[in-house]
Amino acid sequence: MADPEHPRRSTVSDRVITWWLVLGILALAIFPAIAEQFYLQLITKIMILSIFALSLDLLVGYAGLVSLGHAAFFGVAAYTLALAAPASDPPNLWLTLPLALATSAVIALVIGALVIRTAGVYFIMATLAFAQMVYYFFHDTRLAGGSDGIYVNSRPSLEIGSIDLAQDLHFYYLVLAALAGVFILLGIVLRSPFGRALQGIKANEQRMRALGYPTLRYKLAAFVLAGTLAGLAGYLAAAKEGYVNPELLAWHQSGMVLVMLILGGMGTLFGAVIGAFSYVLLQEWFSNLTKHWQLLMGSFIVLAVLVLPRGLAGLGRSIALRRRLSASRDDVEP
Amino acid sequence: MSSPEALLLTTGLSRAFGGLVAVDSVSLQLDPATIHAVIGPNGAGKSTLVNLLAGEVKPSSGSIRLRGEDITGWKPDRIARRGVARTFQHTNVFPDFTVFENCRLAAQSRNVHLMRWLKPAESYREWNDAARSAMAMADLGARAGVPAHSLSHGERRALEIAMSLATAPAVLLLDEPLAGMGAEESIRIVALLKRLSADHSILLIEHDMDAVFALADRLTVMVNGAVLASGSPNAIRANAEVQAAYLGADVPMTAL
C-alpha cells in the first residue's frame, strides 16, 4: 500500500482529493442560494482568509519555513489597491490587481533575499522584524493615512458583461473563483518538480544540497510565490472591506493566519482552508456566547493542538486511513 | 603526483578546527574507474576529508581539482551537479518518501530549473528511468513503493547508494557504506561496489578490512589527519609503518 501522505500518492487518494475539492466548490457555489446577506459576507471573508492561509501553507507546511511576517505581503497589496484607486471611479481590476500582486512579489523578493539564509527561530524573528518595519512604515508616515488607514471608495470593476463587484453576490463568486484557482494552482505546483524539491528541502535540506539542489534559490522562489498569493488575499480583503489600515500588516495578523494553519493542519491544502473556516466560525460562535471569547478560543486551540497534532484535516485523514487499513488488513505489503 | 587522467586531485589539502588539524596537507589522486580506499583509525580525519571533497566543509588551505578544474571552496550543490556524489556515514535519506521518490528526486537534481511548476514530477521520463535503473542496480526494484523509513538498515544503506547513482555521478564518495551491516548485507553491497567500479571512480572510507582489501585498487592510510602511506593493497599490507600505526591503535586489522 502506498503511503497516502507523501509524494507518489496512490491514484485512489488523488481521486478522493479531487472529489472533495469538487464537492467543496459546489457547496460554496450553492451556498448563496440559501444564505442571508450576513453569512454571504462572512463566507466571503473566510474564503479570502483561506487564500491567505493557503499561501502560508506553501511556506510552513511544504517548504518548512515558519514565517511570522506573512501579513506584510497581505497588507502591502491591500494598500496598493487603496493607493492606486482613483478618488471617485471604481478602480479597474485588470490594472490594480496585477499591480498589487507585483508589489507583494517585489517586497517578498527583497525581504526573502535578506531572510532566506536564516533558519528555524532566526527565520521566525527575521520575518517578524521585517514585517514590523513595513507595519511601521504605514503606521508612522502620512503616505496612506497613518494609523487611521484610508478608504477604498468603491470595489474594483471587472469590465466583463454585467458583472458588478459592488454587489456582494458577484464579489462572492469572484472570491470563490480566486480560492478555487489558488487551491488548484498550489495542487499543481506541489506535484511539479519544483514542489517536490521544496518538500525534499523541508524533509532534509542538507541532503538536497548534497544531491545538487541550490536550496536557497528554491526557498526564495517559494517565499515570493507565497508572498504574491498572500497579496491576492490582501487585495480581495481591501476590495471587500473598502478600507485598509496598518492592522492588516500587524504581527497579530501574521500570528492569526499561522494559528489557522496549525488548527487546520499544516502540509495539506485542505488543512489551510479548514483552518480558516473553523477559526472564523468559532470566533463568531464564541463571541456570541461571551465577550471573553478569546479565552474560549485560546482553550480550544490548545486542546486542538494537544489532541490533534495534525490539525482538523488530520482527523478526517486518520479516520479514513484506519478504515482503509482494516479493510485491507490481509493485503500483502509490497 | 598529478597525472593527466586524474579525475579528482587534492594538493596539500588541510582543514583545522581551532587548534585541531583534522586534515593535514593531504595530497591524493583518484583515477577513473578505480576504487580508492581511505583507511585509518577513528579520528584520522577520513570523514572530514569526504566533507572537504563534497564542499560541506571549506578547506583551510590546499586545493581540489575535478577533471583539472579547480573546485576548491565551491558550494556542495555546485560540486554535486558537476558529478561528485556522496553518501553519508549516518544514513541520510528522506524517510517519509518512497524509495522511488528518493531516487527520482535525486535524478531530478541533474536539472534544477526553478521554473518547472506545471507538469507533474512523474511525467519527466528521464528522471523516472534514472531512478528505476538506480533502484535496480542497488537491488531495490521490488521496494520502489515502500517509504524509506520502513526499510531495513541494510536496505537504507543501499538506498543511499542508489540515490547517488541516480545522479549519474563521475565520482562517488562513500563514507562507511558498510557501517552497522550484517555479514550477508555487506556481501551484497561489496558486490554492488565491485560492479560499480567498472565505470565509476569511488573514494571509499571503510573500517571493514575484508571489504577494503576485496575492493580497493589503491589504498591510502591516514593517521592524525595526515597521509601515512598510499599505494597498492599489497604495498600497504607490507608497509611496516602502517602495521605499527594499526598495532598501536585499537583497530584490529585482521586482513593484514
Q: Which chain B positions have a beta carbon within 8 Å of A194's beta carbon?
A: 114-117
Give me the residue spans of the domains in chain A.
Answer: 11-327
Exposed/middle/buried for residue A41 (C-beta within 10 Å: 0-12, 13-18, 19+): middle
Lateral strand order in the sheet of B8-17: B20-30, B8-17, B61-66, B69-70
B174 and B76 both lie in a single domain: yes
Looking at the 3D structure of chain B, how many domains does it have?
A: 2
A vs B, Cβ pairs < 8 A, gives 122
Q: Which three cell numbers stand for residue B221?
A: 592510510
Residue A72 predicted with pLDDT over 50: yes
By C-alpha distance, the chain A residue nearest B165 is: A211
B126 and B21 both lie in a single domain: no
Q: Please tell me the distance from the alpha carbon of residue B142 to that of residue B94, in angstroms, as a whole number.
A: 18
pLDDT average, residue stretch A146-171: 85
Residue A324 predicted with pLDDT over 80: no
Distance of CA A48 to the CA centre of its chain: 8
Contact at CB, B120 and A189, closer than 8 angstroms: no
CB A118 within 8 A of CB A52: no
In which band, very low, low, confident or very high, does the pLDDT at A37 lie, cut at 50, 70 and 90?
A: confident
pLDDT on residue A305: 85
pLDDT on residue B4: 54
CB A103 within 8 A of CB A235: no
In sequence order, the 6+-apart residues with CB closer than 8 A to the CB of A248 are A71, A74, A75, A78, A79, A234, A237, A238
Range of the domain at B111: 94-168
Asked if the structure places residue B10 within a domain, the reply is yes
Q: Please tell me the distance from the alpha carbon of residue A180 to that of residue A193, in angstroms, as a whole number.
A: 22
Tell me if the domain spanning A11-327 has CATH number 1.10.10: no
B77 and B29 both lie in a single domain: yes
Asked if the structure places residue B221 within a domain, the reply is yes
Asked if the structure places residue B36 within a domain, the reply is yes
Contact at CB, A210 and B100, closer than 8 angstroms: no
- Dump pLDDT digits (tens) for A186-229: 999 999 999 999 999 999 999 999 999 999 999 999 999 999 99
Q: Please tell me the distance from the alpha carbon of residue B204 to that of residue B46, in angstroms, as a whole number.
A: 10
B101 and B142 both lie in a single domain: yes
In which band, very low, low, confident or very high, does the pLDDT at A328 lie, cut at 50, 70 and 90?
A: low
B116 and B174 both lie in a single domain: no
| CA of B104 vs chain A CAs: smallest distance (Å) | 10
Domain boundary, last residue among B134, B168, B202: B168
Q: Please tell me the distance from the alpha carbon of residue A172 to that of residue A32, in angstroms, as a whole number.
A: 8
B223 and B201 both lie in a single domain: yes
Residue type at position A277:
F
By C-alpha distance, the chain A residue nearest B148 is: A3
Contact at CB, B77 and A215, closer than 8 angstroms: yes
Residue of B105, B132, B164 for testing the chain A interface, max A β-carbons within 10 Å: B105
Q: Please tell me the distance from the alpha carbon of residue B25 to that of residue A179, in angstroms, as a whole number.
A: 60
Asked if the structure places residue B88 within a domain, the reply is no
B225 and B256 both lie in a single domain: yes
- B88 in contact with A at a CB cutoff of 8 Å? yes
Residue B46: CB atoms within 10 A of its CB come to: 26
| CA of A130 vs chain B CAs: smallest distance (Å) | 25
B178 and B139 both lie in a single domain: no
User: Taking all residues of chain A, what is their mean pLDDT, rounded to a whole number?
Assistant: 88
Contact at CB, A207 and B93, closer than 8 angstroms: yes
- A328 in contact with B at a CB cutoff of 8 Å? no
Contact at CB, A6 and B124, closer than 8 angstroms: no
Asked if the structure places residue B89 within a domain, the reply is no
Asked if the structure places residue B197 within a domain, the reply is yes
The CA angle A203-A117-B85, to the nearest 5 degrees, is 55
User: Looking at residue A126, what DSSP letter applies?
Assistant: H
- A221 in contact with B at a CB cutoff of 8 Å? yes
Poorest-pLDDT segment among A158-162, A230-234, B66-70: A158-162
Asked if the structure places residue B224 within a domain, the reply is yes
B164 and B218 both lie in a single domain: no
Residue of A1, A8, A198, A204 for testing the chain B interface, max B β-carbons within 10 Å: A8
Q: Which chain A positions have a beta carbon within 8 Å of B110's beta carbon?
A: 212
pLDDT on residue A15: 80
- Of chain A, the percentage scoring pLDDT greater than 90 comes to 64
CB A246 within 8 A of CB A147: yes
- A195 in contact with B at a CB cutoff of 8 Å? yes
Domain boundary, last residue among B128, B143, B168: B168
By C-alpha distance, the chain B residue nearest A193 is: B121
CB A115 within 8 A of CB A65: no
Q: Which three cell numbers stand for residue B242?
A: 602502517
B99 and B38 both lie in a single domain: no
Q: Which chain A positions have a beta carbon within 8 Å of B108's beta carbon?
A: 193, 196-197
B175 and B76 both lie in a single domain: yes
| CA of A211 vs chain B CAs: smallest distance (Å) | 6
pLDDT on residue A329: 56
**pLDDT, tens digit only, all 256 positions of chain B:** 445 568 999 999 999 998 889 999 999 999 999 999 999 888 889 999 999 999 999 999 999 999 999 999 999 999 999 999 999 988 899 999 999 999 999 999 988 887 788 888 888 999 999 999 999 999 999 999 999 999 999 899 999 999 999 999 999 999 999 988 888 889 989 999 999 998 899 999 998 888 999 999 999 999 889 999 899 988 888 888 888 777 555 555 554 4
Could you tell me which residues are beta bridge partners of residue B26?
B13
| CA of B80 vs chain A CAs: smallest distance (Å) | 5
Q: Which three cell numbers stand for residue A183?
A: 487551491
B174 and B251 both lie in a single domain: yes
ipTM of the complex as predicted:
0.89
